Structure 1
Amino acid sequence: MQYLLARYNDSVDFPEKYVLIADDHTFPQKRVSLNTHLLVNTLKYSRIIGCSHGLLCLYGGYQEGHDGPLSGSGRAVIWNPCIRKTVTVDVPNVADCSIYETVLSFGVCRKTNDSKILKITHINRWGHRKSLTCIPCHVEVFTLSTRAWRHLYGSNPPRNSIEFDYYNMVVLDGMINWLAIDRITVDGGLQSYNLIISFDMTSEEFREVNLPDSLAHQSLCDLSICKLRESLVVLERDVEANNLVFHVWIMEDVVPKSFTKLYAIDLPDADVSAVYVMGFRKTGEPIIDSASRYPEWTGSLAVYQPYSKTISSLGIDGDDFSYFVYSYMETLLLL
């Protein structure tokens, strides 16, 4: 059965909460709150680094015992909410972002159903990238079947000039995809363009996907990527005639990859700085975070109907901008 999985912070006491909403004709009435596993609760300042094949992977700091100090290493927890089982993975040598930065992502190999955590360590700041161009990205992968980390060599790692937007990440059809920006020096000046970096979890190779010129040279802050059914879409945020508009571009499954504009999500009278598209139902209807537009609602997560251009609250009472929404299918992986 198809669900939407929403994670948010409670607006009263701020713990992280999870709810599954059946994505069928009963939407959004049929829902269930998930009890988080004890090991999930041990993570401090956790974030989701991937959702794939019915598994969630969270990463954060952790402490031994209730009042113990935070460990110097990070920890990932692979969690199957359906069967309430988890696997913990220690993540060593996570950069502190002073010079180097670590990008973590999770996915499941489409051929073997083996869970993998990808760790990319790269130079964090553009000034350091220019002076340390001889130092390549350092790529490691953890495979659940072996319970071990290993280095990846010859995987065509991203250039040092590429910077990941690791909050803009989608796992789809055995590929991890990130929005990224590439900066190059031309005639003594700095030029930049946006692109998508993909990692194939079967071949363990990186690939680059070029965006249309209008997206490649747009501010990266105005772009995001989401999963729409079984396709990747790029959302282009714009303001037209004082209305907030999201243009939805779908990536076509051809070689080389191309993009087609599907439709526009038109939100009249919306606060331009405070409305975001968080994901999509299987019907194609966008899920939006729009607290400031309708402050009288209980919660700010809502569904938008493109044809009638109406917005309906989902009645989830969460803290502003704490929402993450994923398409979710039940699985027996980790059993």
Structure 2
Amino acid sequence: MSDNIPFEIQIEIMKKLPIKSLIQFRSVSKSWRSLIDSSDFISHYRTHMQHLLVSYTVDDISDTKYLSIVDDDTFPNQRVCLHVHSFVNMLNCGHIIGNSHGLLCSYRGYFKDHDNKTRGMAVIWNPMIRKSVAVVVPNVARGGDYHTILGFGVCHDTIDPKIVKITCIEKHCIGNNKLSSLVRESISSIPWQVEVFTLSTGVWRRPYNNLPRKSIRFASYAKVVDGVVYWLADDVEPGYSICNMIMSFDMTTEEFKEIKLPDSLAQPDSLAQPDKRLLISKLRDALIVLDWDGIRFYDIWMMDSVSQSFTKLFMVNEDISLVAYIHGFRKNGEAIFEVSDNGHSSELVVYEPNSKRFDYIDGIDGSYLTFYVSSYIETLLLLDQPDLTVYNENQTFKYRDDLFQELNLFSG
């Protein structure tokens, strides 16, 4: 840029540039590097370019591929293979638990450290700038009367990444019979019921009053929409009947809310349709609930974020003679399906609801049920974070092989 252009104008121009150009411009001058690396520029940087992240494995489950596909009129032709950060590779069988504000969070739970405590490991990473940090997840429950689920999101107001960890009473204590319900009622409190990690402070904390009720059982899979994390859940009501519902956690207010589903979705799966189940997804800035028959037929419901009411968008009832699983949506509303005719390998197809047409996405073939698909945007978040940093409760340190072997963080 010309020295004759006021620096304020240069700033506005750079705010509209893609990530790749900004990373290169950091080497042009000290003033540009200082600007781009500043917390204010990082938190306020926005891009209108939408991408689809696709991850999947081929044969070897430890070798996961990551693709970024530009979600515009060129779809699916503009695609690139993403660099996978070393922390993500070290998780081995870790899985993506959330995608918020251009950041991904992968997680692997249940390993023993040198003190024989059960912990987990989360990695928050930005594939666009090839940077990540690792977070040791304490007090992970597995077996017995409790289990642990996680959610990830970026606070809408502070643009601060957070991880919420919830400990729930195990399924065998929340059954559809009197004995299980008596066991549930005998539990006076749940240890470490809710803990939240905030990246800016680097610590976990538990200052919560509006904890979820003991009778609520969270699904392990969550979706984050505009800084709010959502889980499918169910609740044991008086009389020991089970009711499907949505639980949310706002990353800004740090409050839980219970969201009612339409009557047709709130009732548990019937014996006549044992494979019928609910799933959640995201379409633009709205939560989607999928009513699935376990094979290929779906009812697609969208939640209004203000009224928290649900509207049925469309139904997918086309018999494509394949097992079909919805993984996400393009920004234009087209659904992304994983389809398989043999139960071993899968392909991705796009479903256009108006024309009811399926189009295959060439060149993406992976192992059955290993696909993850989600929309995301480019972001500079983590640019001001030291790379290869590990947050281990009250200790923060730089990655070293010998230290990780001692802590047993990525093994076992």
Q: TM-score range by the shorter chain?
A: 0.7 to 0.9
Which residue matches 1:205? 255
Tell me: CA distance 1:121–1:61, structure 2 relative to 1, closer, same or farther (3 Å): closer
Which residue matches 2:305? 253
Structure with more helix by fraction: 2
Aligned residues of 2:54 and 2:68 also touching (Cα < 8 A): yes
Tell me: CA distance 1:75–1:265, structure 2 relative to 1, closer, same or farther (3 Å): same
3-state DSSP of counterpart to 1:282: coil
Q: Give, in angstroms, the shift of residue 307 of structure 1.
A: 2.1
Which residue matches 1:80? 126
Q: Give, in angstroms, the shift of residue 148 of structure 1.
A: 0.5
- Percent identity, aligned pairs only? 47
Instruction: Give the number of aligned pairs.
Output: 318
Q: Distance in 2 between matches of 1:9 and 1:308?
A: 31
Tell me: CA distance 1:13–1:120, structure 2 relative to 1, closer, same or farther (3 Å): closer
Which residue matches 2:170? 124
Residue identity matched to 2:160 = D
Which residue matches 1:304? 351
Aligned residues of 2:227 and 2:250 also touching (Cα < 8 A): yes
Q: Give, in angstroms, the shift of residue 269 of structure 1.
A: 4.3
2:234 aligned with 1:234? no
Aligned residues of 2:109 and 2:140 also touching (Cα < 8 A): no
2:56 aligned with 1:4? no
Which residue matches 1:141? 196
2:139 aligned with 1:93? yes
Aligned residues of 1:279 and 1:325 also touching (Cα < 8 A): yes
Q: Give 1:36-51 correspondences, 5 Å limit.
A: 36-51=84-99
Partner deviation per Cα, 1:281-328 (whole Å, 9 max, x = no partner): 001000001112899xx8411111222222122131210111111111
Out of 174, 178, 182, the position equivalent to 2:235 is 182
Q: Give 1:46-61 correspondences, 5 Å limit.
A: 46-60=94-108
Q: Give, in angstroms, the shift of residue 222 of structure 1.
A: 1.6
Tell me: CA distance 1:10–1:100, structure 2 relative to 1, closer, same or farther (3 Å): same
Partner deviation per Cα, 1:11-31 (whole Å, 9 max, x = no partner): 367511111111011111110
Q: Which moved more, 1:96-105 or 1:322-331?
A: 96-105
Tell me: CA distance 1:145–1:287, structure 2 relative to 1, closer, same or farther (3 Å): same
Which structure 1 segments of 5+ residues have no match?
A: none
Tell me: CA distance 1:25–1:269, structure 2 relative to 1, closer, same or farther (3 Å): closer
Aligned residues of 1:107 and 1:176 also touching (Cα < 8 A): yes
2:316 aligned with 1:270? no
Aligned residues of 1:266 and 1:309 also touching (Cα < 8 A): no
Q: Distance in 1 between matches of 2:267 and 2:244?
A: 6
Out of 124, 136, 148, the position equivalent to 1:102 is 148
3-state DSSP of counterpart to 1:178: strand
Q: Which moved more, 1:324-333 or 1:10-19?
A: 10-19
Q: Distance in 2 between matches of 1:303 and 1:244?
A: 14
Q: Give, in angstroms, the shift of residue 221 of structure 1.
A: 5.0
Higher relative contact order (CA 8 A, sep 6+): 2
Q: Which moved more, 1:10-19 or 1:81-90?
A: 10-19
Aligned residues of 1:43 and 1:61 also touching (Cα < 8 A): no
Residue identity matched to 2:281 = C
Tell me: CA distance 1:71–1:27, structure 2 relative to 1, closer, same or farther (3 Å): farther
Instruction: State the superposition RMSD in angstroms.
Output: 2.5
Q: Give, in angstroms, the shift of residue 44 of structure 1.
A: 3.1
Tell me: CA distance 1:161–1:304, structure 2 relative to 1, closer, same or farther (3 Å): same
Q: Give, in angstroms, the shift of residue 266 of structure 1.
A: 2.3
Using the size of structure 2 for normalisation, the TM-score is: 0.72
Aligned residues of 2:167 and 2:190 also touching (Cα < 8 A): no
Tell me: CA distance 1:132–1:270, structure 2 relative to 1, closer, same or farther (3 Å): farther
Q: Where has structure 1 moved over 3 Å in runs of 4 or more?
A: 11-14, 61-64
Q: Distance in 2 between matches of 1:93 and 1:14?
A: 26
Q: Distance in 2 between matches of 1:204 and 1:62?
A: 26
Tell me: CA distance 1:133–1:184, structure 2 relative to 1, closer, same or farther (3 Å): farther
Q: Distance in 1 between matches of 2:164 and 2:276?
A: 24
Q: Which moved more, 1:119-128 or 1:315-324?
A: 119-128
Which residue matches 2:333? 284
Aligned residues of 2:343 and 2:368 also touching (Cα < 8 A): no
Q: Distance in 2 between matches of 1:237 and 1:61?
A: 28
Aligned residues of 2:276 and 2:293 also touching (Cα < 8 A): no
Which residue matches 2:265? 215
Structure with more strand by fraction: 1
Residue identity matched to 2:337 = I
Which structure 2 segments of 5+ residues have no match?
A: 1-48, 175-179, 270-274, 384-412
Partner deviation per Cα, 1:42-99 (whole Å, 9 max, x = no partner): 11320112100000011115999xxx9x995321110000000101111111111332
Q: Distance in 2 between matches of 1:35 and 1:119?
A: 28
